[in-house]
Chain A
Amino acid sequence: MTAENTSAPPARPPCPWYRRIRLWPRSLAARTAFVLLTGLVVVQTLGLGIHTLDRNDLVRLAAVRVFSFRVMSIYRDLAEVQPPQRAQRLRKIELPPTFSVTLMDETDDLFSNLLPTPPPIRHSILLNMDSFPLPPELRPQHVHFGVNPETRHEYTALQMPDGRWLVISSLLPSPDSIRGTEFLIAFIVMTVLAAAMTLWAVRRLTAPVRTLAAAAEALGRDVNAPPLPEGGPSEIAAAARAFNTMAGRIRRFVQDRTLLLTAIGHDLRTPITRMRLRAEFMEDDEQRAKMLQDLDEMEAMVSATIAFGRIASPNEPVSPIDLAELLRTVLDEAGDAAPEIADRLRYEGPDHWTVRVRPQAFKRALTNLVSNAVKYGNCAQIRLLQPGRQGGTLRIEVNDEGPGIPAEHMTRLLQPFQRLENSRNRETGGVGLGLAIARDIARAHGGDLILGNRPEGGARVTLTLPV
């Protein structure tokens, strides 16, 4: 009936490295989203990097091309005229910005102060120069390249046909990494969209896992919980079908067992009635009293068994009842049955408090708790704690002054047929259904049953009831 695991928790597997990350999230959805989003960011960053490098290359090539052609145009203009007119011609040329042109006889001094131009640029300038249309006799004899590391000016020296040097210095355009904000905006929009779709898909895919967990939890509380819908992706549908089959088997098992129990309980009533009557004819008063006591015990067990079977199909309607008086009545009945402990039964709480419950079932739960307290704790003190102003939960505490409940037995004791002592001794006889019945009834009312101990000693069983 219950799904709790009573054995010690299984040994934890060694912790893999990724679990030691502080940020490693706990839920499946968060983990999947975390992995996918991390991947997305890495891919996007790499893509951005490759794109930027590629673009820079193109920009530089284009710049080099423009530069080379300008250089060659200036050279051609000067080479076409006779050497004496060259200085004059030079002054007429309209130079692009950052260009400066000089005619020199010797360039060794100049280039000794410069660094060599990076080979890719030099090659590309040379290639561009070669493709520039010029008559072969006008082509420059020699070409030197150099860079001024401080001003970042590119110096190009071309030897004219007359042996003089035309030196052109210019600022090579350095490509700015990302020009324009359109690209950045597009990049961000793309990333955000992809992230949103990832989150949506992950949530959608992991939703059935949450449903399955909720269904398993519900089955633990109530074997008659409604089945899972068997729709969705094929894997999920298969899991839901398997779960429903399992739930059906558990339900049948529980029903069979309950039916068996109830049948035995019903059948025992006739022999118990006979023995009761027969006891009335016994001569020995002491023996008769003992026999009647045994029969009372048997009847209590039978009635507990039948009550347990009945919880599965509650047909009692919900109706209003004065809970404070119910608690007092349960204590009074315990006191009437055993007058010697009547002084040790106390009620603390409001004089009246109306709740809507199934009265007979609820009374049965309370009677079980009080009878346990009397049996094991030799007294029973009930406290009715009202919920706060905002509503919430009503708490009924049943306290005793016995030895309390060992913590390791608490979960086990809530299961049917489990008792605290191993020997089913007669003094405290019973079948071990009292707490299981009380808890099932509490849960059928939307509440729960919590076992615990009082700080000052003794057991404290709390029944909660939502208001």
Chain B
Amino acid sequence: MHLHDLSSFAYLLIMDIRPHLLVIDDDHEIRDLLTRFMEKHGFRVTAVRDAREARRAWTRGAFQLVVLDLMLPGESGLDLARWLRDQEDVAIVMLSAMGEDTDRIIGLELGADDYIAKPFNPRELLARIRAIMRRATDTQGNGSNGDRTARPLRFAGWTLDPARRRLLNPDGVEVPLTGGEYDLLFALLERANRVLTRDMLLDLLRGRQAGPFDRAIDVAVSRLRRKLDDQGGGAQLIKTVRGGGYVLAATVERA
């Protein structure tokens, strides 16, 4: 064994700076594959099969993020999520049955940071996890701002409801958004009045969109502007920043 290898091995052993994920899923193949996949992309993963093992693992390690399958044998995923919320402010991404709307709403109200339906696209999961980590770093929190994610965001008369992923105009009429548009608007609102660079936006939209991402962002922004009746001029909501990037200029309140 080379010295270099040894030192890096020791380095990893002593202080692993990779973000640590706790994956809870009852299917062992998915557990193994997800572990390999996330490790390949620079994460450290501990994978367990149910709520009991999750509690045991929790006491032994410090986790930046939990990937939690809601359909667990024994104690339900929702109960475990509630327990995790009480322990520490950790970010939670929930996995659940496709399109079960009520699950998603309950999950987000319980304080999950994001929700992704099975069968999920691994790259989309990766992108969402990265976005949550970045958000955590941005807001200087320990991990999560989950207790706030489910609450509707109000800005300039409009309302964005993260639990139902929908945008309501000042008259309370839903204005539909594509997945990419929603993610973009959510990111802009989270960091209202701060510049979002093109790189950050690319991160958000990757995994969702095919084709050239650069153009996709401009297209999504122009569609958002149209949907928000954002005509331009001094009172423009989404402003273009010279040198690449966008900023949402509005006061955002959490209801």
Contacts and interface: CB of A to CB of B under 8 A. Distances in A.
B178 A274 contact: no
B251 interface: no
Nearest to A330: B176
B210 A337 contact: yes
Nearest to B174: A321
Contact of B97 (A266, A326, A339): A266
Contacts of A359: 166, 174, 176
Given A303-B98, A322-B169, A360-B101, A278 B177 contact: no
Contacts, number: 94
Nearest to A334: B178
A82 interface: no
Contacts of B223: 328, 332
B165 to A, nearest CB: 10
A402 to B, nearest CB: 23
B120 A276 contact: yes
A316 B102 CA distance: 10
Contacts of A270: 27, 30, 118-119
Most buried by A among B97, B178, B209, B210: B178
Contacts of B158: none
Interface in B1-52: 27, 29-30, 33-34, 36-37, 40
B173 interface: yes
Chain A interface size, under 10 / 10 to 19 / 20 to 34 / 35 or more = 35 or more
Contacts of A274: 27, 29-30, 33
Contacts of A325: 175-176, 227
Interface string B100-118: 0110000000000000001
B120 A316 contact: no
Contacts of A276: 119-122
A339 B211 contact: yes
Contact of B33 (A278, A320, A337): A278
Most buried by A among B122, B176, B216: B176
A411 to B, nearest CB: 30
Interface in B160-186: 166, 169, 171-181
Contacts of B74: none
Contacts of A333: 178-179
Interface in A273-322: 273-274, 276-278, 280-281, 295, 299, 302-303, 306-307, 315-316, 319-322
Interface of A: 266, 269-270, 272-274, 276-278, 280-281, 295, 299, 302-303, 306-307, 315-316, 319-322, 325-326, 328-329, 332-333, 336-339, 354, 359-360, 363
Interface of B: 27, 29-30, 33-34, 36-37, 40, 97-99, 101-102, 118-123, 166, 169, 171-181, 209-211, 216, 223, 227
